[in-house]
Structure 1
Amino acid sequence: MLQLLWLVVAIPVASATLLALFGSNLSRRVVAVLGAGSVGVAALITLLIGAVFLASPPMGNVYVQHLWTWMSSGGFTPEIAFYLDPVSLLMLLVVTFVGFLIHLYSVEYMHDDEGYARFFAYMNLFVASMITLVLANNLLLLYLGWEGVGLCSFLLIGFWYRDPQNVRAAAKAFIVTRFGDTAFAVGLLLLFTRLGTLDIQDAMHRAAMQWSTGSSIATAAAALLLGGAVAKSAQLPLQTWLPDAMAGPTPTSALIHAATMVTAGVYLIARTHVLFTLAPSIQFLVAIIGTVTMLLAAFSALAQRDMKRVLAYSTISQIGYMFLALGLGAWSAAMFHFMTHAFFKALLFLAAGVVIHAVHEQDLYRMGGLRKELRLAFWAFVIGGSALAGLPLITAGFFSKDLILWQSWAGPNGNAWFWAAGMTGALLTSLYTFRMILLAFYGPQQLHVRAKSGLAVRVSLVVLCSLSLVGGYVDTPPHFGGTPALSNFLNSVLPPLEEVHIGPITETMTVLSASTVFALGLWLAYLIFGPKRSRQPAQNLLEQLWLAGWGFDWLYDKLLVRPFQWIARKSAADPVDVPINGLAQVTVLGYRALRLTQTGQVRWYAAGLALGTAAILAIAFVAR
């Protein structure tokens, strides 16, 4: 069964190719079968592979599938090869299964869109690119998948390209992430020139053997990879593209936030964790970036009016939790939170799509009272929101977030400052989550519901609701009387943290603290945004700053965009351009001259043919 691993990539690629070439000539039913069915088959194969992997683990908990040599130049011979271990298996299960649910939802949600086949072609390629990134045996193949998800995000964010605002949002995402991709590419060159290989496992082994902890070369390599990670995962200072990415269709937002794109940076750091342990200063920087991003994004989420932008800033904040865990060396905790986050964030985005489709509105302050007419969407928001906020002992998000908070306090690299920041982030998460639910579903109803959900949408939401509730029990901590099965599985390839004995009293206090901030956030949300309170958004300067994402766009516009535009205008008359412009003018003149010959009068065409024939015969006669 493990030999079928290549099909998990090949099937979505084949479907994307067929839809791109022939989609306009296919019926919507066939497009739906190809688009959603291909990812469904990939998910089914992944489940079977996972079952075989768990039942009969390969040697070293690693399976490598060599397909062919990509290229060979000197000593550089990268392969098209896939690497399956517990980390990539977890990622693969989430990408394919959650991706399939989003595709199933899209069959109904996008049914009336004129670009139906084009949408599924992009989505299939998106999933295939992420799978390539996850399974890549070498960093060059990983980079191919990395750029693939970047391309697909550009295509999907700007899917409705007739609106210039959507095109600008797509271009912004593409350009901002180029900064990180450039750093990543330089990092690959550095690793190859110093280690002589881009095979991930071989490179990590050589780095551990050749580079000392804290060496300048290890620090530089880790810093360059971190540059790529912060851009792809929308962390400070390159987080500005993600809120604007909400311009794309809602299923696209769900796929970007839950199963692809923004999780790529988390996976990259976890996969190359050896480099970061060799560069403690950069690993500490990862924790700092995650902590600051988590808090700033949570405050911004608290001020947003647009439902999807609340969820976008929420994703930035939750990825910040993952970066915090990675920076503390809690690798398995970061991957655990990645998994639970995929469940409840996909659920929230798809539920938001139901609401937006039903009332044709995204402004929370124009909604209200929708819980009676949109019952499934309401309960999806309650379950997904509770998982996001960390409802104790019931939701998946509690277990993964509590593990990170526990490690930030009691772990060998934790301290009171990280723990306090994490708890503050948890409080803000509860506050902005229930603010969103109260504004959308309680109070007087202001909008009429125009559409209801069909079977495909309902199935997707119900399955994700179930996963958001029970998904955390795969890694129940020992202080809850459970077994951390997922952590033990991941720790077979990721270095586990040193076991910390904090005592039952401290364990109880950490759980009570997490429970307290959840309840406090819920109470404050009801107090400030409850159905009997004013529904007008505040206009104070601080909230305006939060609404604007702390002014990063304004700052970058002043420091980067405007100076670049000024330089471009000033260099428009550069002497170097004269010959190039001259060549263009010659081409234009030639085109205009040839255009004069196209009169549309047959007699002139016949006369031209006759004269041309006579000239050719004359030349041939003279040549003899």
Structure 2
Amino acid sequence: MTNSLNLWLIPLVPFAGFLVNGLLGRRFPKALVTTVAWVATLIPFLQVLNIALHFSSLSLPYTENVGTWITAGSFHADFAFALDQLTLIMLLVVTGVGFLIHLYSAGYMAHEEGYWRFFAYLNLFMFFMLTLVLAENFLLMFVGWEGVGLASYLLIGFYFAKDSAANAGKKAFVVNRVGDFGFLLAMFLIIAHFGTLSFGRVFNQIAQHPEWQGGFLTAIALFLILGATGKSAQIPLYVWLPDAMEGPTPVSALIHAATMVTAGVYMVTRTHLIFDRSPFALTTLALIGAATALFAATIGLVQTDIKRVLAYSTVSQLGYMFLACGVAAYSSGIFHLLTHAFFKALLFLAAGSVIHALSGEQDMRVMGGLRKKIPITFWTMTMAVFAICGIPPFAGFFSKDEILYQAFISPNPIGKLVWFIGLFTAGLTAFYMFRLWYLTFFGESRAKEAAPDDHGHGHGHGVHESPWIMLGPLVILAILSVIGGWVGVPEALGGHAEITHFLSPVTQPAGEVAEGAHSQELLLAVVSVVVAGIGWFIAHLMYFVKPAIPEQLAAKVHGLYSLLLDKYRIDELYGAVIVTPVLLLSRYVLKGLFDTGVITGGTLALGYTAQGVGSLVQRVQSGNIRSYAGWLALGAAALLLLTYFGFGSHFTF
């Protein structure tokens, strides 16, 4: 490797792709738009692979300072990028999965208007996410943090002519501003107490002061949690993510799997030295994660839109990652982030293939019997379903089991509680994912032979398999969903926990493994698999053996069923408590005050002032020479008086 890794090129190339397609793409043929977008994503991926191949020879952490960005007194912030073990994993996920989604998008979006605009937005999203990951300081991370919020707004609202899509984009943007406000307050506190926003300098000061516990570090951590709950869709700011499915399916895969929603988990892991000094913040983080995992899973039990089920599963799985960070098992959280990127991207892209096959249909109640009609989509999605449900030896089993085990052995007083919530949620996850599997692919076909929808999905030729430009990424992600977890096989299961050791310089895991821990971990793994198996069995009974049961059960517990179907009516609650009062305040009180008091009043005041001045000037500019002489004499007398009484010394002519 050369002395410089040119890390700045990794985000710059996607930005160049955004500029080319954004400015000129309207005039380009689709093939050229596609080529630009692919190349702009492939080059960073190849560069990251090259860094990974030579990673062992690097002196870490590695920093590249492009130049001084802001200087204000003693404070300065550099435009600098940094690389360590955590950064490398995130770069591989973002560029690798991101490139596969770009490939898939060429097939899925082939018949869309605004094709060039879509790929320009995708490249812009990649630019901001890579900036976030590579940032050496909080300020540059915040630029990427805000940027992915902007790009998500553009992508979620891609079908801006649809009110639901436009509203979903606005909702994502506004809700994330709440979390971003927390991030800003955290940065202000960091500047106040550390005098810098550089990760390295902040963490060095913390390391040099072991007496710093709680206090201002807790305040910083809590504000960072607020920021993370926004980006990573945790309670109470999760409400934007389920609506994000209004964007094209590849957007859902990109946001839910590999990029934006993982930003909060990455940020918490990156700043874990702050959280380690605040047991209260860690407990808060663990409780938010466990509550979100369970809450979202219960909603996913009854949803009928295939993408909405996957959206709530994303919220739930992110809860697991927060739970891991809350019990200080940061490497376990990143491990699940890695495997989740594989199987969740696959789930969304496979769902997109199903939607494509059914000419835009997303309701699972009118699916069924697709197993033999779209076999490649079926088998690849099956790999993802097994992975997310934690069935061994698929990827999700190892990462989810590691989180549950770390929660169980955590010294945190709530460790056993969040372990039980996580275990129960694992059973719910297996149920709703196999429910999706059975409703979509098994039983009698309920699919409609429809013409293409408004967005061009389907071609009016009946149910059909997707083209290979879409199936290729599915196959690759299916392989990764099987083997992706093998980098973290624990010693209790015959592995060496490679990813934990790899991340140890960054996450600083606990020391020696206690005696008997391996047998305990193995027992807990068996318990989690049994719980997942129970969830699968119940789904098999209700949606394959006796498919009449769900309707009968829904009728018996109609109130609970309606509550879950309506997502606990949280959106309605937010609308009544927050949105409606704010709209009333802005539309009637502030609008009336500002429009009537400031705009109208100011306009009238300016008008009367101008009228008065005009009247005065009219008298002065009378056209009468004698009048002019009088005004001149009056002015001269005034100047003489000022000079006589000594006021002239205060004026300079």
Superposition TM-score, scaled by structure 2 size: 0.87
From 562, 569, 580, the counterpart of 1:551: 569
Matches within 5 A, 1:57-136: 58-59=58-59, 61-136=60-135
Aligned residue number for residue 284 of structure 2 = 285
Aligned residue number for residue 226 of structure 1 = 225
1:256 matched to 2:273: no
Aligned residue number for residue 599 of structure 2 = 580
Deviations 1:110-131 (A, max 9, x none): 1111111100110001011111
1:507 matched to 2:521: yes
- Cα 1:504–1:326 change in 2 (3 A) is closer
Aligned residue number for residue 418 of structure 1 = 418
Moved more, 4-13 or 173-182: 4-13
**Aligned residue identity for 2:575:** D
Deviations 1:391-441 (A, max 9, x none): 12x200000001111111124437332221111011011000000000111
Moved more, 358-367 or 201-210: 201-210
- Cα 1:585–1:463 change in 2 (3 A) is farther
Deviations 1:339-380 (A, max 9, x none): 000000000000000001111211111111111111111112
Return the offset for 1:523: 0.4
Tell me, yes or no, if the aligned pair for 1:212 and 1:278 is still in contact at 8 Å.
Answer: no
Return the offset for 1:213: 4.5
1:533 matched to 2:547: yes
Aligned residue number for residue 33 of structure 2 = 31
Matches within 5 A, 1:389-408: 389-392=389-392, 394-408=393-407
Number of equivalent positions:
583
Instruction: Provide the secondary structure at the position in 2 that maps to 1:3.
Output: coil
- Structure 2: gaps spanning 5 or more residues: 450-461, 607-653
Return the offset for 1:450: 4.1
Tell me, yes or no, if the aligned pair for 1:365 and 1:535 is still in contact at 8 Å.
Answer: no
Matches within 5 A, 1:292-303: 292-303=291-302
Matches within 5 A, 1:447-526: 447=447, 448=449, 449-498=462-511, 499-526=513-540
Moved more, 430-439 or 454-463: 454-463
Matches within 5 A, 1:439-454: 439-447=439-447, 448=449, 449-454=462-467
Deviations 1:105-156 (A, max 9, x none): 0011111111111001100010111110001001000000000000000000
Distance 2:591 2:66 in 1: 49
Return the offset for 1:442: 0.8
From 543, 561, 564, the counterpart of 2:582: 564
Return the offset for 1:544: 1.7
Deviations 1:172-215 (A, max 9, x none): 11111111000101110110111100001211222343574443
Moved more, 68-77 or 114-123: 68-77
- Cα 1:7–1:546 change in 2 (3 A) is same
User: Looking at CA atoms only, which structure, 1 or 2, has the larger radius of gyration?
Assistant: 2
- Cα 1:409–1:215 change in 2 (3 A) is closer
1:182 matched to 2:200: no
Instruction: Provide the secondary structure at the position in 2 that maps to 1:69.
Output: strand
Q: Report sequence identity in percent.
A: 43
Distance 1:575 1:261 in 2: 37
Aligned residue number for residue 429 of structure 1 = 429
Tell me, yes or no, if the aligned pair for 2:293 and 2:320 is still in contact at 8 Å.
Answer: yes
Tell me, yes or no, if the aligned pair for 1:439 and 1:535 is still in contact at 8 Å.
Answer: no
**Aligned residue identity for 1:47:** L
Distance 1:65 1:503 in 2: 42
- Cα 1:35–1:6 change in 2 (3 A) is same
Distance 2:474 2:596 in 1: 57
**Aligned residue identity for 2:532:** F
Instruction: Provide the secondary structure at the position in 2 that maps to 1:5.
Output: coil
Instruction: Provide the secondary structure at the position in 1 that maps to 2:111.
Output: coil
Deviations 1:475-532 (A, max 9, x none): 1100111111111010122110243333454233112102201211110001112164
**Aligned residue identity for 1:516:** V
Q: CA RMSD in A?
A: 1.8
Tell me, yes or no, if the aligned pair for 2:365 and 2:446 is still in contact at 8 Å.
Answer: no
Deviations 1:32-57 (A, max 9, x none): 01112211111111111111113x1x
Matches within 5 A, 1:285-434: 285-359=284-358, 360-392=360-392, 394-413=393-412, 415-434=415-434
From 14, 17, 20, the counterpart of 2:16: 14
Return the offset for 1:575: 6.1
Instruction: Provide the secondary structure at the position in 1 that maps to 2:505.
Output: coil
Tell me, yes or no, if the aligned pair for 2:343 and 2:481 is still in contact at 8 Å.
Answer: yes
Distance 1:507 1:3 in 2: 40
Distance 1:472 1:495 in 2: 21
**Aligned residue identity for 2:316:** S
Tell me, yes or no, if the aligned pair for 2:350 and 2:377 is still in contact at 8 Å.
Answer: yes
Tell me, yes or no, if the aligned pair for 1:35 and 1:121 is still in contact at 8 Å.
Answer: yes
Tell me, yes or no, if the aligned pair for 1:184 and 1:224 is still in contact at 8 Å.
Answer: yes
- Cα 1:536–1:16 change in 2 (3 A) is same
**Aligned residue identity for 2:439:** L
Instruction: Provide the secondary structure at the position in 2 that maps to 1:574.
Output: helix
Distance 2:218 2:467 in 1: 53
Instruction: Provide the secondary structure at the position in 1 that maps to 2:81.
Output: strand
- Cα 1:112–1:303 change in 2 (3 A) is same
Matches within 5 A, 1:137-148: 137-148=136-147
Instruction: Provide the secondary structure at the position in 2 that maps to 1:303.
Output: coil
Tell me, yes or no, if the aligned pair for 1:288 and 1:324 is still in contact at 8 Å.
Answer: yes
Distance 2:605 2:351 in 1: 55
Return the offset for 1:223: 0.6
Tell me, yes or no, if the aligned pair for 1:410 and 1:500 is still in contact at 8 Å.
Answer: no
**Aligned residue identity for 2:129:** M
Instruction: Provide the secondary structure at the position in 1 that maps to 2:8.
Output: helix
Instruction: Provide the secondary structure at the position in 1 that maps to 2:116.
Output: helix
Aligned residue number for residue 607 of structure 1 = none
Distance 2:274 2:498 in 1: 26
- Cα 1:302–1:213 change in 2 (3 A) is farther
Distance 1:400 1:35 in 2: 32
Distance 1:402 1:199 in 2: 35
Tell me, yes or no, if the aligned pair for 2:185 and 2:223 is still in contact at 8 Å.
Answer: yes
Return the offset for 1:29: 0.5
